Structure 1
């Protein structure tokens, strides 16, 4: 085996004993003996949670379909290997957006759920799992379970943020949020003390996305830049094609 699997920080590299790239829509999880199994999305985890040195990796790249898009109610059913950037190319022209996005568009839906990712609007929308309606979970026993807050709620809760330890996510249904434009309003505000930062933060409650960078080694320990953004109320919704995925 020559391919090396890495997380986003590229340390450490990992060569699993087995890699399985199957069509998980129809295939059961492999019998790996005593080897532990871990799903692998696109390797964008900061740490090593997507790696499984000397174990078995289950690649989700084959799960690449967008299955159903309800443009009226704002719901999307998509397979676990589809990346967030591909989804946005489909959603934005239709006036919808993912409620939570991280700092990279190369995260898969399965990875977003398994890591329960957050965005810069965490104070308003919470983490990704808050917007997951249901998903199909393939267990090592061969069971295929539809998990939601009503069906198998314990497995549903354990899988969101469960780092792939409960099984392999095959597809998920996500609730979306409406947008009127593909444009963003954005401001960067310098501040020179923590008190000034707190005042700006209190005045930013109507901004969807907020983040601050603070230089704790500066004189007084409080200077920094406060960035805030929100979706524009008007503008164009440009047409785009989702690369590498298809709507069934």
Structure 2
């Protein structure tokens, strides 16, 4: 497919900080590749594991939409707006950093790691008032269908951000095919395989592979085995 990028899991940047193991799809901090800066508004997709009791100390962000999706364990959050929360698998957290925010993220447990996806998107509005959001999507229906967990609309399903972007999750049985229809014409699609193996428009993706493309027709995801998939729809320009 034209205008497509394939990011095999093995091609990601790896950062080993002892307490933190981070697999980074795009350039991040000391890891840099000019060909791997972003996919449209999607700037960061880090697959992080933090060991017991460790975490990210107080640090700042501004003008970025920051999303955390725990996969295993419990992530403890505190920020300069006074929010204190614990995020578990089946929940999603967002921060609109806007004019500026400080926060910390720690593994709540001493005896087991926490694994989560840390995702950053460029916002479509700068210098907004910082805000925090969190919701539980665990009881939603994503068996062999896409469940929306994020959108630009505060009144829609899931959390919301300042960007024309949508996140969906699907838990697929082997052999199942799902068609995805763009929410906004001209947007791109980035498929990240949490586990399993899928085929996307003829491209085979395995666990932790990523595949971004600008659809020219139908977008079909087929599970080649039991799979969990995150689909991120983002604009190319904003």
Which protein has the bigger helix share? Answer: 1
Tell which structure's C-alpha radius of gyration is larger: 1
TM-score, normalised to structure 2's length? Answer: 0.24
Which protein has the bigger strand share? Answer: 2
